[in-house]
A and B are shown apart, each in its own frame.
Chain A
Amino acid sequence: MTTTPAIDIVGTKKSGRPIGLLLVAAPVLLVCWMVIWPIISAIARTVWLPNEGSGRSFSLETYAFFFSDQYSINNLTVTLWTTGVTALLLLLICLPIALYLRFAKGRLAAYVQGLAIFPMFVPSIILSYAVIRVLGPNGTVDLLLNSVGLPHIRSPYLTPWGPVIGLVWDNIPLTVLILLSGLGNVSNQSIEAARDVGAGRFALLWHIILPRISNSILVAVSFTVLGIFSAFTLPYVLGPAAPEMMGPFMQRTFRDLNDPTNAITQAVIAFAFCIVFGLFYVRSVAKNRAP
């Protein structure tokens, strides 16, 4: 029997090397064109401004304006507040759901999982109107309270809590799925071993489960933060007019005020916050992949 060498698709041989590089070249070029270049271009456009003459020169004027303008700072603050509160609420809501789904058996757990994932299939705009119809003035909750003679609720609609409720609802599926995948790494036997040495429910959660899924929590929080910073529809429809979140703020600065340079500055500042969490995520992935 004769043997023929396998085709060297990864290009370890000198002659095959260009094929391997060509395979990764297309996506790398696409990322450079669609992601890296717009970032560089945006940063350049905010620091390389037209000067009093006819040319352009380096200036941090737009950033100085952003951080000296109380309205911009209020918008950034409300965005950070919404992000923090939403991330916290998501963890408080999703961790018990994920724990239940991980350890419960039977049909009920399958229905709960279906229900938890359901928001993923509802577009934000429909969710926004659903929140208005339920929690808005004269919404379902108001009507129900009124029918039993109770006073109106203070509707979260058009307050900072409006986007928080919508964003929590919208982000539940992804957060549950990420936490659930993390909990999949916690073996039943390691939990039983902890119970065997005397760990109650709280000790089990605190000393065994949470340390094992800390990575997943970090990933879930990173994804939430990235999603909330770039959220537009929910804050636009459900949030207050002022202060407003960075998404609607950028859109209004760009279109209504026709001020692209300041809109891009706001985008770069939002990006700077996101990249911190992006780096957390990348670090977490790299740590997991390390041999």
Chain B
Amino acid sequence: MSVLDIKNVTKSFSTTKAVDDFTLTVGDGELVCLLGPSGSGKSTLLRMIGGFETPTSGVITIDGEDVTRVPPEKRPTGMVFQSHALWTHMNVFKNLAFGLKLRGLPADEIKRRVEAVLELVGLGGYGHRQTTQLSGGQQQRVALARSLVLEPKILLLDEPFASLDQHLRERLREEVRDIQQRLKITTLFVTHGQDEALALADRIVVMRDGRTEQAARPDVVYREPATPFVAGFIGTMNLVDGTVANGRFAHSGFTVPLPVGDGAATLAVRPEALEIVPASGAGMAKIHRVTDYGTHAIVDIELPGGVRLKSMTREARDWSAGQSIDLKPRAFAAYRDNAAIHRSN
């Protein structure tokens, strides 16, 4: 059953469209990541779901009820902001109790719920602390608890870990996933970090210029990107523009069999799927640099036209800069007119 329905929503700021005819349905208990570069409209979309922006056109329904023009204080949503936005003049307990007090709950019920949710986010016994005494990670947990304590139907997270360091971000990410699965709460998570989206989401919606580029399971988005943009945005991807003639794709000496009609095409190959072998003749490309990461090595390759590619190999010592090589893509996709025309797996 769908909890959230976004139908043909557009949001314009003067002449620019931040969100453009966007449609999405989110199921009960689903965790959807809105992923895209800065300016792709993902935060604006989240703010419209939260009620902080009003769509220029389109309809947003929560549990079948039209909330398009309902203010945030009357929506069954809870938002966690990037800068956690805690009220520094209140201690942790009061930050969490504020929303419950506004709902007129009795004091003992408020105490019980606040303490329970503080335990849930791993901050049991922190109620009396001032928010300014907490670390960045703890502050973000309080912000999460403040939303969860009201038991919203939809939890909205707007790049909540952007200001935290990598290690803490990974830990909190796992905790959020655990809590979300335990509470079975429908969640929308905005991020521009693809690893965050891949690790967290039941479904990723890749956005660009206010539109959906692809909405699918993380593994599908990674393995079968729908457009060259998604291919380039998720993970590392080698993208080579070339032409197809007589069933072969070619770009300055680099050729691959490609059984599609003649014309321009973009070839997309993941570094781990781009095998390199010592050149049998003149070679398709030359090695520019070899970087050893211990567990694997990344070989930077330069095609005669100047295009750079990356290949992931096990052994760094097999390769050296300046060496002539041939390229053998094991799996690749080809795009034409912003759509996939071929996949080889």
Using CB atoms, name the residue of chain B closest to A186. B87
Contact A187 B85 (CB under 8 A): yes
Q: In the docked arrangement, what's the CA distance between A182 and B52, Å?
A: 23
Contact B73 A195 (CB under 8 A): yes
Set of chain B residues within 8 Å of A189, measured between Cβ atoms: 81-83, 85
Set of chain A residues within 8 Å of B51, measured between Cβ atoms: 195
Is B79 close to A, CB under 8 A?
Answer: yes
Contact A212 B89 (CB under 8 A): yes
Quick one: given A203-B102, A207-B98, are A198 and B83 in contact (CB under 8 Å)? no
Quick one: given A192-B52, A193-B79, A207-B98, are A199 and B73 in contact (CB under 8 Å)? yes
Interface of A is mostly: helix
Q: What 0/1 readout, one digit per residue, does chain B (75-105) give for beta carbons within 8 Å of chain A?
A: 0011101110111110000000011001100
> Within residues 177 to 223 of chain A, which ones have a CB less than 8 A from any CB in chain B?
187, 189-190, 192-200, 203, 207-208, 211-212
Set of chain B residues within 8 Å of A203, measured between Cβ atoms: 102
Using CB atoms, name the residue of chain B closest to A203. B102
Set of chain A residues within 8 Å of B73, measured between Cβ atoms: 195-200
Set of chain A residues within 8 Å of B10, measured between Cβ atoms: none
Is B235 close to A, CB under 8 A?
Answer: no
Which of A195, A197, A211 has the most chain B CB atoms closer than 10 A to its own CB?
A: A197
Using CB atoms, name the residue of chain A closest to B158. A189
Contact A198 B150 (CB under 8 A): yes
Chain B nearest Cβ from A110, distance in angstroms: 17
Set of chain B residues within 8 Å of A197, measured between Cβ atoms: 73, 78, 98-99, 102, 146-147, 150
Contact B78 A187 (CB under 8 A): no
Quick one: given A203-B102, A207-B98, are A196 and B89 in contact (CB under 8 Å)? no
Contact A195 B72 (CB under 8 A): yes
Chain B nearest Cβ from A233, distance in angstroms: 40
Contact A192 B72 (CB under 8 A): yes
Is B50 close to A, CB under 8 A?
Answer: yes
Contact A190 B79 (CB under 8 A): no
Would you list 22 pairs from A and B whose C-beta atoms are within 8 A, ordered by A residue? Answer: A187-B83, A189-B82, A189-B83, A190-B87, A192-B52, A192-B85, A193-B87, A193-B143, A195-B51, A195-B71, A196-B77, A197-B102, A197-B146, A197-B147, A198-B74, A198-B99, A198-B102, A199-B73, A199-B99, A199-B102, A212-B88, A212-B89
Q: Which 8 A-B pairs have the closest CB atoms?
A: A197-B99, A189-B85, A193-B85, A211-B89, A195-B72, A190-B85, A189-B81, A198-B102
- Interface set of A (CB-CB < 8 Å, partner B): 187, 189-190, 192-200, 203, 207-208, 211-212
**Extra 8 A-B pairs, beta carbons < 8 Å, given A199-B102, A208-B87:** A192-B72, A193-B79, A194-B98, A195-B71, A196-B79, A198-B74, A198-B102, A212-B88
